[in-house]
Structure 1
Amino acid sequence: MRTDLCDRLGIEHPMVAFTPSEHVAAAVSRAGGLGVLGCVRFNDAAELDAVLDWMDRNTGDRPYGVDVVMPSTVPTEGSDVDLAAMVPQQHRDFVRRTLDRLGVPELPAGQETGDAVLGWLHSVARSHVDVALRHPVALIANALGSPPPDVIGRAHERGVQVAALAGKAEHARRHVEQGVDLVVAQGHEAGGHTGEIATMVLVPEIVDAVGDRAPVLAAGGIGSGRQIAAALALGASGAWMGSYWLATREYAQTTGGSAMQRALVAAGSDDTVRTRIYTGKPARLLKTRWTEAWSEPDAPEPLPMPLQNILVSEAHQRISAAEDPEVVSMPVGQVVGRMNAVRGVEELMGELLREADDTLARLGRLR
């Protein structure tokens, strides 16, 4: 199963895996796909540089990529805006009351919370790009639209492809006009930041809009070889998968905790909710007691990005440390209903490829 995407990225199979885990990304690349490491969790360039050094040593000389979060409207370094001061006290009080009611303990005394919002800032995303371009990355993807022209230009100077996510055909057209090489058509079913249009409708719309100028990757709800074959039938050059890798042993190597994976394995495809509570932009999350609290009558409206990030930053760290599967705060798509056991990346890749090949062969026999 090869498409033009394989030749463009130097991979064996037209499968791209977005993940915040370097262990998952490296395993996918070794298996012939393209592992794309999410950089938003890295607050400083040195930490990311060390992880990319590890990727260089552990991908078996196979290509890999990185994903940055580069919002264009967030104040950068040098701004006089005190973002924390813009968070209303009533929002802080609601978060405190909710954590107490859900039984989420305080972080241990002396444990540094860090500033988890840093990775969402434009200036930090630029430092992620600086680090990535010092490594042999094959792709830089931006989760929040087209990167700035200078970032695209720098990537192209080093022979690095640039991708951007799109939830509408008009977004895809704008990406290509600005120099983006690959468009990820991410449907409503997807985890994390996602739009209103379902994958089945969105992919052919974007292929019709830009497919003659840039390969299109289908994203949202893909968790089987049949769905990869369906993406190709819709005109996509490959599949972009994120949520599916959360329930892997390699992901657990990065996170250490098991509560999130227990929650994912127990969830069905109707156990997600699209909400602004995670970052301030609409994002699909696992439905838990934490997300339900934000839909209650006394809950305030979520703040815009990055103020919502600042508001819930420590809450997310406390929730993660609590290891309670009923309270976790985790972006995941509707494909969670297919994630019924914790398995290895190599096993999943093999299963996906076999089913995709079988499906394509079956379709080829139809008359």
Structure 2
Amino acid sequence: MRTAFTELVGVEHPLAGFNRTPAVVVEVSRAGGLGVLGATMYTPEELDAQLTWIEEQLGGRPYGVDLLVPARTTQRDVGELVADLRRQIPEGHRRFVEGLLAKYSIPPVSEDDALDRLGRIDASLETNMDAAVVSELLDVTFSHRIALVANALGTPPAAMLERAKAQGVPIAALVGKREHAEKQLAAGVDLIVAQGTEAGGHTGNVATMVLTPEVVEIAGDVPVLAAGGIASGPQLAAALALGAAGGWAGSVWLSSHEDAASRVIKEKLLAASSSDTIVSPTRTGKSARQLRSAWLDEWQAEGAPSPLPMPLQSMLVREAWERIDVTAEKGSEPARELESFFVGQVVGSFRELRPTAEIVRDIVEGCEARLREIGRLVEPVRS
């Protein structure tokens, strides 16, 4: 299949696979899609190491990077900034989280017990606003042979756009509303990812079926990828039928062997239905779809405080999630009840863990088969 997206980034299939695990990125690209590394939680040194490893595995095949580059950064000492933000967290919120952890018998985590979790962040990066760190991340990203760079939230700042265009790297942006797409197009992005509410992680409230054609209508020559609900061949075919140049898939890779999610999380995902997700700001301070669990139920209970805005909420609960993850991995049933992860409504289609390459193949072959079936629905015009 050839589309404006496959031509833009030089891949065989109109499918982008977003994941925070480098091994998943490699396998998606090897299978003919575009693996995209979710790199929002890496230090510059970690990002350089991961991109170097990815390139060693791919031998020239294209891949992409997804960063979180804020429109505004600060020259202020980041340690002082983080300390100031922490002082803004109400004591009542701290007591609520500690009470919740005590209720479920979640102990503090010692250094010996700490998991080597992908995405662990240093306190100095909690705000992702340090101008020096953001500049270093961009330096690292553009020093590698990337085929695409995406900004995870908001319009890419002018400096990021200029640098991408100067180096001939297409730049993508995720949108959840038509108005967001209008801003991104005005800024000059090369690819729009129209993410419907079905998607995992930070998401809006417009469905993919509605959002995709709205964005395609105004995008002109700029390719659009549909995101949210893309986990099978028929779903990718639907995206193409809506006018998209391909699909952007994220949640489906959680059902792969290569994804770095813990055993406990994967077991819960495999047991879940499509109705077992909820959009909540309780993890980051911004609405995000995730697997429903006791954690989310506790925040919705009578007397629970309202979640704080980003980044205060994520600063409030970061250590709590570290403790939950570690304790759940040790076999604690109460911790398992709390355990959750960002995932879209396609979680209901997970049946077993499979190799990433097999998932790509099934999506692509299923899409091609469905497109042929659709083509046969149109009777030839008789003269």
Shared fold by TM > 0.5?
Answer: yes
Q: Give percent identity, aligned residues only.
A: 45
**TM superposition shift of 1:209:** 1.5
| Separation in structure 1 between the aligned mates of residue 243 and residue 61 of structure 2, nearest angstrom | 26
State the secondary structure of the residue aligned to 2:258. helix
Identify the match of residue 102 of structure 1 among 95, 104, 107.
104
Indicate conservation of the 8 Å contact 1:250/1:344, yes or no: yes
Give the structure-2-normalised TM-score. Answer: 0.90
Partners of 2:92 and 2:312 in 1: CA distance: 13
CA deviation profile, 1:315-346 (whole Å, cap 9, x unmatched) = 11112212244222311100100112111111
CA gap of 1:295–1:344, structure 2 versus 1, over 3 A, is same
Counterpart for residue 291 of structure 1? 296
Q: Tell me, which stretches of 5 or more residues in structure 2 are unaligned?
A: 115-119, 329-334, 379-383
What is the distance in 1 between the residues matched to 2:51 and 2:298?
38
1:87 maps to: 89
Report 1:262-301 matches (<5 A). 262-301=267-306
Q: 1:132 aligns with which of 141, 144, 147?
A: 141
Q: What residue identity is the alignment partner of 1:333?
A: G
Q: Deviations over 1:269-313 (max 9, x none)?
A: 000010111111111011011111111112111111111110011
1:36, distance to aligned residue in structure 2 (A): 0.5
1: distance between equivalents of 2:358 and 2:294?
Answer: 32
The Cα offsets for residues 68-99 of structure 1, whole Å up to 9 and x where unpaired, read as 12233565643654111111111111111111
After TM superposition, the score normalised by the length of structure 1 is 0.94
2:341 is aligned, of 301, 314, 330, to 330
Cα separation, partners in 2 of 1:76 and 1:188, compared to 1, 3 Å: farther
Matched, 1:260 2:265: yes
Instruction: Determine the structure 2 residue equivalent to 1:71.
Output: 70
Instruction: Say if 1:39 and 1:128, in contact at 8 Å, map to a contact too.
Output: no
Give the distance between the partners of 2:25 and 2:38, measured in 1 at CA.
9
Deviations 1:140-198 (A, max 9, x none): 11111211011111111111111111111111111011011100000011100000100
1:217 equivalent in alignment to 2:228 = no
Aligned CA distance change for structure 1 residues 129 and 187 (closer, same or farther; 3 Å)? same
| CA-based RMSD | 1.7
CA displacement at 1:105 relative to structure 2: 2.6
Indicate how the Cα distance of structure 1 residues 120 and 25 shifts in structure 2: closer, same or farther if over 3 A, else same: farther
1:39/1:119 contact within 8 Å kept:
no
* Residues 20 and 316 of structure 1, relative CA distance in 2, 3 Å threshold: same
Alignment of structure 1 residues 7-156 onto 2, 5 Å: 7-42=7-42, 44-72=43-71, 75=74, 77-78=76-77, 81=81, 82-108=84-110, 115=122, 118=125, 121-123=128-130, 124-156=133-165
User: Any conservation in 1 of the 2:86–2:312 contact (CA below 8 Å)?
Assistant: yes
CA deviation string 1:29-56 (max 9, x = no partner): 11110011011221x2111111111011
Quick check: 2:126–2:315 contact (8 Å CA) kept in 1?
no
Q: Which residue of 2 is the match for residue 312 of structure 1?
A: 317
Structure 1 residues 305 and 238 mapped into 2: Cα distance closer, same or farther (>3 Å)? Answer: same
Counterpart amino acid of residue 96 in structure 1: E
Unaligned runs of 5+ in 1: none
Residue identity opposite 1:93 in structure 2: R
Larger Rg over CA atoms: 2
AA in 2 matched with 1:36: V
